[in-house]
Structure 1
Amino acid sequence: MASGTMGVDELNSIGGIGRRELLAGGGALALSSAVPCTSGYWRVAAALPQALPTAAPDLAERWRNPPRDAHLAAYWYWMGGAVTREGITADLTAMKAGGIGRAAMFSIGKSGKTPQVSPPADALTSVWWEMVEHAATEAERLGVELAMNMCDGWATASGPWITPQLSMQHLIWGETRVDGGRTIDMALPTGDTKLGYHRDVAVIAVPIDREWETTSEAATVTSDLPLANPAALADLANDAVLIDTEQGGSIVYRFAKPFTLRSVTVRTPNAKTGFAPGVLRAANSLRVEASDDGAVWRPVGRLDYPGHGWQTDLTTLTHAVPETTARAFRFVHRPEGPFDYDENQDFGQETALRLKGLHLSSMPTVHHLPIKSGAAWGRSRRMDDTVLPPASCVNRAALVDLSKSMDVNGRLRWRAPAGRWRILRIGCTTTGKKNAAAGLGEGLECDRFNPEAAKLQFDNWFGKALARLGPAGKRALKIVHVDSWEAHTQNWSPVFPADFARRRGYDVLPWLATMAGVPIDSMEASEAFLFDLRRTIAELARDHFYAPVAAMAHARGCRFSGEPQNPTFLADGLDYARYVDEPMGEFWVNTPRNDKPNDVKDAVSGARIYGNKIAGAEAFTQGLMTWREHPYLFKRIGDHNFCEGINHLHLHVWAMQPWPDRAPGMTLNGIGSHFAAQQSWWKPGQGWRDYVVRAQALLQAGSAVADVAYFIGEDIPTRALMPRNLSPALPAGFAYDSINRDALLRLATVRDGRIELPGGASYRVLVLPQTDRMTLPLAERIARLVADGATVIGPRPTRLPGLENGAADDERLTALAADLWGSGKIAETADLARLLGAPAFVAEGTTGIEWTHRRSPDWTMFFLFNPSDREARFVGHFRSAGAAPELWDADRGAIEAAGAWRNDGKVTSLPVMLDPGGSVFVLFAGKSDRRPVSDISATGPRFRRTSRGVERITYIGVPIEIRGPWNLRFAELSRPHAVKLDHLRSWTQLEEPDLRFYSGLATYSIAVALPRARTDRELVLDLGAVANLATVRVNGRQIGYAWRPPFHVPLPAGLGGRVTIEIDVANTWRNRLIGDHGKAETERVTHVVPMLRKGQPWLPGGEGAELDPAGLLGPVRILARSVTRLSGG
């Protein structure tokens, strides 16, 4: 209409719209916006006067008044010393107003030669301490809790007070080969010493057979691969890339006489992707064949591509291969891939064969030594005596300890017996690893095996902060945090030998040569020792780092949060949660091949088995933001992780904004997603933040429900299992947790046939991993659980994995296994679906619905999420008997009593409809004496229950479009600008450059004449398409947010006559940044720090940069639905 007003007559003619209901069968305590007429489901809305009270008042209170732990947290990065009192106050004020209850302070980098503020607040300076004190005082005033990272930078526990002697350390060695039968008088090399620190551990002489020293340098090398100089592959001095190809082919080594192959060393360039050199798949997966005549080939095996972490450097990796004697060896490359993403294997999975060298040796060696000895994080196949017979190993009794024969200057004097000897001068040095992204607080990482080092780090950072704060500041700073473990790993410390002996029951020193790659006694024995070594590494980090940090925090009335060590430090991936009050994982956005789903699984299972109600996550991290990020994108990723078990999001990242009037402002060099009051959509983004807080309030209540506990095994490193790794596979409709050795040994009990843990976790079945090895204490514990009535399935153990206690334990294990497996008390395999019975949840009529399940003595609850881009309609079957279902919509903050459902005594079924990316909580609590509609289907009518009884909801009429003209006001320009639009269109189609490139908030307004209010009709405002989110007001009163499709907002009941509708719409910063590209600083609207990343522009703009649609795109329509009462209340 020309006047911009829609008439009453048009509204009264609305008919035939179709239906859409968020909550299938939803009988409403509250109604909400409906979705487009073509799709069929309604979302719950603001509460109606006739709403029924919920049967779960405790949850309703959390819903209305979420506790602080349910509020969002934010990583608050103080960048390069650019910190101001004004900025601190503004940031914390915006956080509080925006639903953020915790700010985790990180000091990142330093000011450099040209500080951005004066004076700069570099870490540990008096100015910085003043800012810390101001932040704590302001946080306490505003009611925001503060956390503080354990050190300067974001990783991990380091500082200038950590000396090399108290730093993370690893074993190193220098090797000298000599002929015996004479006196040896020589200086011994130390190996790769760092920072001038070296401490001798032992000097060991290892007898070797001269045949073992034969290598491929004596071979003739040929290849049908594109390779100019094949012989260079056998040259250890070569550092050039000799092969870089996607094609298949082979490399052949021919020897003049029979050669015994025992190991192959692969040397590659760095991986092209990832954050570390990695280990390349193709080069480390070659098939190995042998021939006696160069014509007939027999298989030997295949090089074993190991799992590895994102900080792992295995560009030189030695593989043990089955001992084989032949005249020729062929290495075959058959192109494979691309491969699915695997967090523990991805870096280096490029498909090309890229090689610097392929070195063959007769020397017996430990397979994948850096991984097996804990010098690098990885997972590697265990070798046995079929690979290397004991005759090719060194007898332990033949080793000679020469430690007392070397003087303090490293000079050895020894009368060597006849024969050939390898002399190993074994020592330790610092790993040299320092805290990532640190400023003046940069220093070495503290020794994770020495509690005194952990104390020194705590006292000089977090402890000093507490000491400087007054009473108000101490009330705010309540959490010490250990973030992303970017400290690599360690396998030695001066305290290690004593702790190893105490824990394992034998001396580590006679086995040190194995840590240098020498198989001792047998391959079985060497692998057993290395198993014990890795277990000790993991236990010491847990007990001598996590435990004392937790104790020091608790002694000061504080808590401890942290992320897992894997996949950079050897660990049991769950047991850090034994001491951490809030275990955390990490997930990424827009960067799928850097995502951390296993981090999330570690945090969730760790939290559950150790009784932590909260499992947090560093949320929405990314390598380089696109400036297209907005709440609907975050919702979909966040909801997926809610279904994984995360229930507390820590926004990554809120860069401290030293200049509150500049936008978008400071960034973390483009890393992470931009959260700040200066974000263009921050105000209307409150709808999403409210959604998250309500969801977390429910997801932190009660206890998680999982039917199966999968044991992650005893071989370090272990992690929570991903679904693809479950064996047997988990049937659809059930949930699982991973459980570790510590929880089984110390915490697990059995009640009514279920394995229970003190924190509330309870499992119907325990599944053991696919291995034939088990320690005796674990076998005895499992025997006790079975005797108490637990159901356990898994393979029968036949051998001990380590050397601890030796033959006596072996005999006892054999007897236990015979009793448990031989008598049928434990089945090696089982049909889990038959064993478990009714699934917890099934979505009949669709696939892919994600869910999580929680319960308390008074209720059981499911959170459902539709990850699809299409609407999902289905009948949900829930394992719940007797209780009436309620539908809780965290977006609208409303609750409905279901009007249509059926219960067969074990399972409750009700129809559900979910938007693309939509979600809902389904709660079962209390008994219902009201009869529901029981004839249900996914496509049938929609019902809700109110105090008036069951009501049927149907759309009526034809949607009426509000065509305009619309008044559009851009209030955030330096000169406010008003536009009248005859029809809705993207701001990018407006003529004026300031409007075409506009980013921020703009307001649309129009007058509409509504019919008189009726109790049997409800009206919904459908905004159509919105780029990117909106807030709606009617007659000056806010009635709702529209931040995700469908962009629907219900009009208040009782509303009628002429009204003014105002719609605030905000887009992302991308368009304005494109418009500012190439402009001088004085001409730019935006202010971004930094403008360059690694010396190069990184902001969007330039040739080929396309603007994104922006604004209210419509069509905007009025939808109507009728309410028909079917039965009394």
Structure 2
Amino acid sequence: MNLKHLIYFVLFLVVFNCKTNQEEKLSFFEPTEDSSKPWVYWYWMKSAYSKTGITADLEAMKQGGIRGAYLMTIKGPDDKPLIDPPVLQLSKEFWDMVHWALTEADRLGLKIAFHAADGFAVAGGPWITPKMSMQKVVWTDTIVSDNETNHLKLLVPKHYQDYYKDIATFALPVKEVFKTSINLQPKVTSTLQDFDASFLTDRSTEKKQFRLYENGWVQYKFEDFFNCKSIQIETKGNNYQAQRLLVEVSNDGENFTSLGRLEAPRHGWQDTDAFYTHSIKPTKAKYFRFVYNPEGTEPGAEDLDAAKWKQALKVTKIILSNEPLIDNYQGKSGAVWRISPQTRKINMQDEDCIDGSKMINISEFVDADGVLNWKAPKGHWRILRMGHTSTGHENATGGAGKGLEVDKFNPDAIRFQLDHWFGEMLRTAGPELVSRVVEILHLDSWECGSQNWSPVFSDEFKKRRGYDLVDYLPVMAGIPLESIEMSEQVLYDVRKTISELITDNFFGTLAAEAKKAGVKFSSENVAPTMLSDNLLHFKTVDYPGGEFWLKSPTHDKPNDMLDAISGGHIYNKDIIQAEAFTELRMDWNEHPGNLKTLADRNYALGINRFFYHVFVHNPWLDRKPGMTLDGIGTFFQRDQTWWEPGKAFFDYCQRVQFQLQKGKPVIDLAVFTGEEIPSRSVLPDRLLPFLPNIFGEERLALEKMRLENLGQPTATMPKEVTYSKNTTDLSQWVNALDGYKYDSFNADVLLHNAKVVNGKVIFSNGVSYSILLFPGKTKMNPNNKMSLAVAEKIQALMKAGATLLVGEKPNGIPGKYSKEDKVTWQKAVDFIWKSDVKRLPYLGGTFSEFGVAQDVKFLNLERKEVGSIAWTHRESNKESIYFLSNQKQEKQDLEVSFRVSGKTPILFNPVTNTYTDLSTWKIENERTIIPIKLDANASYFVIFKDNTNKKLSEENKNWSTFETVKTLNQDWTIQFDKAFHGPSKPIEIHELFDWTTSTNDSIKYYSGTAIYTKTFDWNKEVEKDMFLEFDEINNIAEISLNGKDCGVLWTYPYRKNISKALKNGENTLIIKVTNTWANRLIGDEKLSKQDRLTWSTAPYRLDETMMVKSGLLGDIKIQKKLKK
């Protein structure tokens, strides 16, 4: 290289490095106060809106420090409208209300997010015709002989309204005429001796139910031997036990042989769009008995929804057939969200499959009226007419804007839908107002099931998969073609195409339209209702979102949360949101103090912005609590008793969110979801078999007990709902990997974004992962297949120096493939599994052997590890930021070891908004060790920022102690609010008491704010750090001393600095204490309607046992902080 070239090369490196450093710096999101403020779901209910109510709502949001509102209109008017005339969605008056809301939001400096449709689920309207709606494949078949195929009127498959379109019609050679128990009508008996269960296998369409609450059976007796190959199970609603019946057979009715249990697929909550078909080992018998015994029942989860509930057998049909059918083809064809293993060869042989060369496509011989004119070859033929129709799903929570859900695969239809709702809002507001106020296009809950067809589907399939699906279409009806393997491969390709179209055509179109409108795009999850890769769509979304529920274990969404968090991380999204505190039944006892640990746990999972569920628009100014979402959701709205002092909680959330929006998360492990579709992130309990010693012996024992589920223990929460006590609960998996964090990742981001940098794997220029795990077979990935592309990518990552842990060797390729691909695949797989790559299960107790020490470690004073601290870690260009949350309602003294050295730690308290230098710490083995005291439910940030050469700091203790110098327990005056039905005059009390113990109903049932007043003398020196501390506050208190605001107390420790307000001589202390609505609602139920204070649309469900302790209790002390 000559000198000239050398100079140019050096200059190039300098410029390149400068650009890289600049880009790296700019890649870190810089949060602002606005970006970190919480939002609310603003539901407009039942066409009952008013401009005065809208203004009052928005002003309350502004006062509360809320950044913006997700405006969603829910339902239409009741038969007796709440406001008459109602303001119907789509009317001129409705759009005028929307314009008013946007104008008022603009005046107040608030932002608005607008949904993609009327309601909160998901994208449809009255303008969507059946042709433009979500589609599904339907079919009928007819057995004919060769002389019956001229002028044969084919049956029209079951369809929605008058909409049906043919796809193709086939003639399949008949080996035998298949029969079912409906044809043969066996005698049906059961352990319910006086119950006629014959409807289980007759032609009736009435949804009668056979129910068993104790062990029992139902039995079919055939006149002759029946060769059963498949069983169809139908239920009225979701029922897990109907899909796990024990099948026994007999030839004499006395001696029975077990065929084993039916295997329930993984399934979601919206599981009733298709029945179940179980393929079984072909069995000839006269007696078939279906035994219900719940022992061995797996506890519920989001992917086993029907197991969440108290178990019983409830079934409407059990239909036996001698037709070999693909096992659980309904889920495999994408008609419904389900996951099940490949059809087993013991249940079906390849000779049971239709020879593709003998199947004839006779579509050209079927005219527009469905009449077949075809000269058939000699023999008997099964005429299979296959077409598509609307699924019939609607945006069911809408009002006048309710209609069919739009086809999720058709971009033109999607744009048409969006234009009629979101577009109309844009036109109503005008571009200037939109640019100032409308910030987000939002897609909320997916409650419209799945779809497996569209007018565009066949062409999209051919383009993406490289072959014509129509040639294999009968597999979507469960009919096996060519071989079991081939049939399953085609069905996998169907699912893969569906998953891609959801992302590319639906979410991709919405994202493009949002960008065109100048707004951001936010969305929640697709699973577990629509078949999808539930991480994939988040790559198109600006703000991924999950949801978590309060006191609602049957409806909580841990997988939703992890999907949004992992999806956000792997696709490099800076803000990951959560629909926060959704609640199945409001108890009216909710307040910031009992919401905090749940909030903190979800922050520690990886969420960094909340939108509170729910702020319901209250059109009245004189009705309290007023409008609700029919009692669903936590009451975050202006008529909440504690809304104004509750700003202290909202400010807390903003401070936490600000810190957690800095930089990038630090996450050591990434876990492959596998290539099964549908797919979701991997829950921590599913990782336990692969990392047993990371979890530890105690967790192993607890999980073994949980999964055994002996006796199927139940619990109730809320009081009306009985559920499986062992249902998956993330609150039991705090710090699951003992100081390590993990994300899940999918095949898409692995193939298109993964690169190795300094031994770590980076996806999408976001988080860098030290170790990648490929578990192989799991409950959500039961077939352990691996594509050639993934195998080659793993091989490439290994060669580039990535650290990988791999599970069981894959047993095949998903989807159709060539012989050449299989040879190449085998070489790649052999390379990986014959190398020295580490295998799962990994038996180490840490990942230190790979150079990855625990990111954080918690020890108590007995030097035992503590598992009740939720935490997360983020890294920016300037800081290492750790968030710690005590999930217990008790104090904890800890020694915390951080994987950081060479930087000085400081403590940030987001409750008090104060920074404190940590005076005692040490650095050992490249780790900083700090003694930390956590109050009950407390949370702190430990932030490492400034460089230091020190290895030890013992200047002072990190934590102050306090000395009580005066108690103020006695002789208070309390003024209740007469307007809230409190006593009209102040009351004088000697001792503090719980209001609910009063014999005066105006105190006992009081809800609202009461003002405690006390004067006291202070004759001592007013020192720098004087504090007022309370033993117990129910539920939130505003402190004022001598007219000076000292702040709000809403969580432990109940302590406020009063140094600047305390004075020598007489002092006046005023404490405004606010409780919740529960007590007044309970008291009002005893009164006539005209005598009540309260009015609400929430159904009344409280009782005296649900009274909420209220007021100040225990000691009230003035304390001085002692020197450290």
Structure 1 residues 434 and 353, CA, compared in 2 at 3 Å: closer, same or farther? closer
Asked whether 1:173 is paired with 2:121, we answer no
Name the structure 2 match of 1:309. Answer: 268
Mapping of 1:279-428 within 5 angstroms? 280-290=239-249, 299-313=258-272, 316-325=275-284, 329-336=288-295, 340-347=299-306, 349-428=309-388
Shift of 1:642: 0.9
For 2:1102, give the aligned amino acid.
Answer: P
Shift of 1:236: 5.0
Mapping of 1:7-406 within 5 angstroms? 66-111=32-77, 114-117=80-83, 120-180=86-146, 182-210=148-176, 212-213=178-179, 215=181, 217=184, 223=190, 228-229=195-196, 233-235=200-202, 237=204, 243-251=210-218, 253=220, 259-268=226-235, 270=236, 277-278=237-238, 280-290=239-249, 299-313=258-272, 316-325=275-284, 329-336=288-295, 340-347=299-306, 349-406=309-366
The Cα offsets for residues 880-905 of structure 1, whole Å up to 9 and x where unpaired, read as 12222221111100111112222113
Name the structure 2 match of 1:552. Answer: 513
Structure 1 residues 403 and 227, CA, compared in 2 at 3 Å: closer, same or farther? farther
Secondary structure at the aligned position of 1:607 is classed as helix
Shift of 1:663: 1.8
For 2:157, give the aligned amino acid.
Answer: G
**Unaligned 5+ residue runs, structure 1?**
1-57, 271-276, 936-941, 945-951, 1092-1096, 1125-1129
Mapping of 1:643-722 within 5 angstroms? 643-722=604-683
Structure 1 residues 959 and 714, CA, compared in 2 at 3 Å: closer, same or farther? farther
The answer to whether the 8 Å contact 2:137/2:453 transfers is yes
Asked whether 1:769 is paired with 2:775, we answer yes
CA distance in 2, matches of 1:314, 1:1038: 58
The answer to whether the 8 Å contact 1:546/1:576 transfers is yes
Structure 1 residues 828 and 705, CA, compared in 2 at 3 Å: closer, same or farther? same
Name the structure 1 match of 2:1107. Answer: 1107
Asked whether 1:824 is paired with 2:790, we answer no
For 2:490, give the aligned amino acid.
Answer: F
CA distance in 1, matches of 2:456, 2:100: 41
For 1:956, give the aligned amino acid.
Answer: E
Name the structure 1 match of 2:732. Answer: none
The Cα offsets for residues 996-1025 of structure 1, whole Å up to 9 and x where unpaired, read as 32211111111223354465x733212222
Shift of 1:105: 0.6
Asked whether 1:1024 is paired with 2:1028, we answer no
The answer to whether the 8 Å contact 1:971/1:1002 transfers is no
Asked whether 1:728 is paired with 2:690, we answer yes
Structure 1 residues 1067 and 1014, CA, compared in 2 at 3 Å: closer, same or farther? closer
The answer to whether the 8 Å contact 1:874/1:913 transfers is yes
For 2:279, give the aligned amino acid.
Answer: A
The answer to whether the 8 Å contact 1:234/1:358 transfers is yes
For 1:159, give the aligned amino acid.
Answer: G
Q: Which moved more, 1:435-444 or 1:285-294?
A: 285-294
Mapping of 1:429-828 within 5 angstroms? 429-470=389-430, 471-726=432-687, 727-729=689-691, 731-771=737-777, 772-795=784-807, 797-825=809-837, 827=839
Secondary structure at the aligned position of 2:511 is classed as helix
For 1:983, give the aligned amino acid.
Answer: E
Name the structure 2 match of 1:964. Answer: 971
Asked whether 1:980 is paired with 2:941, we answer no
The answer to whether the 8 Å contact 1:156/1:487 transfers is yes
Name the structure 2 match of 1:37. Answer: none
Secondary structure at the aligned position of 2:277 is classed as strand
Q: Which moved more, 1:862-871 or 1:347-356?
A: 347-356
CA distance in 1, matches of 2:913, 2:427: 42
CA distance in 1, matches of 2:922, 2:174: 77
Structure 1 residues 1076 and 330, CA, compared in 2 at 3 Å: closer, same or farther? closer
The answer to whether the 8 Å contact 1:534/1:717 transfers is yes
Give the TM-score normalised by the residue count of structure 2: 0.88
Asked whether 1:1051 is paired with 2:1061, we answer no
Shift of 1:606: 0.6
The Cα offsets for residues 645-702 of structure 1, whole Å up to 9 and x where unpaired, read as 1111111111112223432121111111111121111111111111111011111111
Mapping of 1:844-859 within 5 angstroms? 844-845=859-860, 846-859=866-879
**Unaligned 5+ residue runs, structure 2?**
1-24, 695-736, 778-783, 861-865
Secondary structure at the aligned position of 1:363 is classed as coil
The answer to whether the 8 Å contact 1:612/1:759 transfers is no
Secondary structure at the aligned position of 1:467 is classed as helix
Q: Which moved more, 1:1003-1012 or 1:199-208?
A: 1003-1012
Shift of 1:926: 1.8
Shift of 1:1064: 0.6
Q: Which moved more, 1:182-191 or 1:372-381?
A: 182-191
The answer to whether the 8 Å contact 2:965/2:1118 transfers is no
Structure 1 residues 647 and 810, CA, compared in 2 at 3 Å: closer, same or farther? same
The answer to whether the 8 Å contact 2:964/2:1118 transfers is no
CA distance in 1, matches of 2:267, 2:389: 23
CA distance in 1, matches of 2:195, 2:463: 56
Secondary structure at the aligned position of 1:213 is classed as coil
Structure 1 residues 1070 and 885, CA, compared in 2 at 3 Å: closer, same or farther? same
The answer to whether the 8 Å contact 1:219/1:254 transfers is yes
The answer to whether the 8 Å contact 2:923/2:952 transfers is no
Secondary structure at the aligned position of 1:172 is classed as strand
The answer to whether the 8 Å contact 1:563/1:603 transfers is yes
The Cα offsets for residues 97-151 of structure 1, whole Å up to 9 and x where unpaired, read as 1010011111122335654446643222111112211211221221111100111
Secondary structure at the aligned position of 1:714 is classed as coil
CA distance in 1, matches of 2:1053, 2:66: 26
Shift of 1:291: 5.5
Shift of 1:969: 4.5
Asked whether 1:839 is paired with 2:841, we answer no
Give the TM-score normalised by the residue count of structure 1: 0.87
The answer to whether the 8 Å contact 2:581/2:613 transfers is yes
Secondary structure at the aligned position of 1:129 is classed as helix
Shift of 1:553: 0.8
Indicate which of 931, 934, 945 corresponds to 1:911: 931
Shift of 1:961: 4.3
CA distance in 2, matches of 1:1106, 1:426: 57
Name the structure 2 match of 1:1086. Answer: 1094
The answer to whether the 8 Å contact 1:282/1:335 transfers is yes
Shift of 1:788: 1.1
Structure 1 residues 174 and 966, CA, compared in 2 at 3 Å: closer, same or farther? same
Shift of 1:197: 0.8
Shift of 1:851: 1.3
CA distance in 2, matches of 1:866, 1:227: 57
Shift of 1:595: 0.6
Structure 1 residues 108 and 1063, CA, compared in 2 at 3 Å: closer, same or farther? same
User: How many pairs are equivalent?
Assistant: 1035
For 2:323, give the aligned amino acid.
Answer: M
Secondary structure at the aligned position of 2:475 is classed as helix
Structure 1 residues 807 and 1075, CA, compared in 2 at 3 Å: closer, same or farther? same
Structure 1 residues 1106 and 479, CA, compared in 2 at 3 Å: closer, same or farther? closer
CA distance in 2, matches of 1:954, 1:214: 79
The Cα offsets for residues 932-966 of structure 1, whole Å up to 9 and x where unpaired, read as 5459xxxxxx813xxxxxxx733335763431233
Q: Which has the higher contact order (CA 8 A, sep 6+)?
A: 1
Structure 1 residues 472 and 494, CA, compared in 2 at 3 Å: closer, same or farther? closer
Name the structure 2 match of 1:868. Answer: 888
